[in-house]
Structure 1
Amino acid sequence: MNLYHLRYFVTLAKLEHYTKAAEELCITQPSLSHAISLLEKELGVTLFQKEGRNIALTKCGKIFLERVQESLKILDDSILELKSISNGEGYIDLGFLRTLGTNFVPKLTKNYIESNKDKKINFNFFTETTTSDLIKSLKEQKYDMIFCSKCEKEKNIEFIPVSTQKLVLIVPSDHPLSEYDSVTLEQTIEYPQIVFSQKSGLRSIIDNLFDTIGKKPIIAYEIEEDQVIAGLVSNNFGIAIVPYMPILKFMNVKTIDISSPTWERNFYLALLKDKTLTPIAENFKSFVIDNYTL
């Protein structure tokens, strides 16, 4: 079915006059008559009937007009959307660890939008608790890209370092360690600790830090989310080693540097190596690389 013939049909249905419709379409009247005749032959129904000097839609024509207008609107809207996308506009499906949602991701995306004020840019934000969950969703192409920790075994994913986050000790405000601004890991051993669950990528990292001093923490609770851990610490359920988060400033906890052993956590922009990005996603990737890579 010829797309032009469908547009001719809609114009003729609107004007109900072959000569006027042909003039508006900038084609000859015989060409219009031929196009409508071919359309009726293909459909096997009569679309127009004469009414004096004008024409009018038949019952079949009215039914067909409604469906054609719906279809052409969908088609035209899609064309406009793709033209917008090709111009670097549209939306980005962005996944990230919750710990990056309080400061890093909001600031970065705001800066990107402000640097492209002439374009219509939107983000769909999605948070996950662990890097493994983010990577799983990235592979399923739920996200265009993610911000997460690095997973060495993922050879088909490109990891671009963009930010660091140090580990700190948090204790209740009235805890014996709260008088210190800096402690060694060994000083935490005698106190019950709230640790990350085995599902978290941080668990093995923190376990390895304790292995380096040949000690094991007293585990009171195992929790998946760092903000939940901080909430428990603020209510005297134990102490914890967590990534530094700005939200800690507003909680009833004391944040203490760990002088030995020291460790910093790197965060990465991660993308599938074999996936073609939309122009807006490609532009955002370049913006991150130009302004945020370590």
Structure 2
Amino acid sequence: MNLYHLRYFVTLAHLEHYTKAAELLSITQPSLSHAISSLEKELGVKLFEKEGRNVVLTKCGQVFLEDVQQALSILDSSVSKLQMTGSGEGQIDIAVLRTLSTQFVPGLVRDYLKEHPRQNIEFRFHNSTGLTPDMIEGLKSRKYDIAFCSKMENEPTVEFIPVAKEELVLIVPNGHPLCAREEIDLSETLPYPQIAFSRRSGLRPIIDRLFHGCGGQPEIAYEVEEDQAVAGLVAAGFGIAVVPHMALLQYMPVQIIRIANPTWERKFYMCTLKDVYQAPAINDFKEFVKQHSMV
């Protein structure tokens, strides 16, 4: 079905006059008549009938007009959005680990928009489980354009660009025997029940390796998925935990203890798919992030 014929049909339906419609469309009247005849032949119904010197829609034509106008409106809107995207505007869909969602990523977006005040760019932040594997899966399914999360091994189609880092610390509830310590060797925590990250978390294998290097694994009291949930259980007295040194800890009833040995820093990454088309606005924001990374 010819798209031009559909637009001719809508114009004629509104003007109800072949000569006026042809003039508005900048085509000849025979060309318009041929287009409408072709459309009617393809559909197998009459769309117009004569009424004096004018034409009016048949009942079938009235129904068809509603659907065609809706379809053309959707198409025109989509074309407009793509044209904006191609000119450096449009929408950027982002997934963010919650530990990066309070300051780091919002700060990057704010600073980027300040440097590009004339660009019509909408950033959309998507809720997720907060786990890196789910964000990477969202990238692959094209749900997200960019994900700010941890690094995953064996992901050859994903580009991981380090943008921020965070050290691991030990947190204990107020009143715990280790409260008075300012720093600690990780092996000294082995006698105490601990809150661990679930095995789906990118941090779990890292922390397990740190403990393995210390000569043992702690007793696991609970396993949970997110940083905030781990800290919440510690604050409630269910155990101690090794967690990223996130800003949230300053406002919780826990003591933060530096881990003197072994030392380790958690890195965060900006993740995008390799070898796929990215709109100009996305590439521009990626370059901005690279220039303003903390690593």
Within-5 A mapping of 1:4-83: 4-83=4-83
- Alignment-derived partner of residue 115 in structure 1: 115
- Alignment-derived partner of residue 126 in structure 1: 127
The 3 A distance-change label for structure 1 pair 139 and 11 is closer
> Is the Cα contact below 8 Å between 2:151 and 2:269 reproduced in 1?
yes
RMSD of aligned residue pairs (Cα, Å): 2.1
Q: Distance in 2 between matches of 1:196 and 1:36?
A: 66
Within-5 A mapping of 1:152-167: 152-167=153-168
The 3 A distance-change label for structure 1 pair 285 and 54 is same
Q: Distance in 1 between matches of 2:171 and 2:294?
A: 28
Overall identity of the aligned pairs, in % = 56
Q: Distance in 2 between matches of 1:198 and 1:50?
A: 73
Within-5 A mapping of 1:1-294: 1-118=1-118, 119-292=120-293, 294=295
Secondary structure of the structure 1 residue equivalent to 2:95: strand
Deviations 1:65-88 (Å, cap 9, x if unpaired)?
222212211221111111111122
Deviation at 1:35, TM superposition (A): 2.6
> Is the Cα contact below 8 Å between 1:103 and 1:246 reproduced in 2?
no
TM-score (norm. length: structure 1): 0.91
Count of paired positions = 294
> Is the Cα contact below 8 Å between 2:92 and 2:121 reproduced in 1?
no
> Is the Cα contact below 8 Å between 2:94 and 2:123 reproduced in 1?
no
Deviation at 1:27, TM superposition (A): 2.6
Secondary structure of the structure 2 residue equivalent to 1:153: coil
The 3 A distance-change label for structure 1 pair 143 and 120 is closer
> Is the Cα contact below 8 Å between 1:91 and 1:124 reproduced in 2?
no
Give the AA of the match of 1:59.
Answer: K
Deviation at 1:293, TM superposition (A): 5.9
Secondary structure of the structure 1 residue equivalent to 2:267: strand
- The runs of 5 or more residues in structure 2 that have no matched partner are none
Q: Distance in 2 between matches of 1:42 and 1:221?
A: 67
Secondary structure of the structure 1 residue equivalent to 2:229: helix
Deviations 1:160-200 (Å, cap 9, x if unpaired)?
11110100111112223222322222332332221222222
Q: Distance in 2 between matches of 1:50 and 1:77?
A: 33
Secondary structure of the structure 1 residue equivalent to 2:159: strand
Deviation at 1:152, TM superposition (A): 3.2
- The runs of 5 or more residues in structure 1 that have no matched partner are none
TM-score (norm. length: structure 2): 0.90
Q: Distance in 2 between matches of 1:187 and 1:202?
A: 20
> Is the Cα contact below 8 Å between 2:196 and 2:222 reproduced in 1?
yes
> Is the Cα contact below 8 Å between 1:93 and 1:126 reproduced in 2?
no
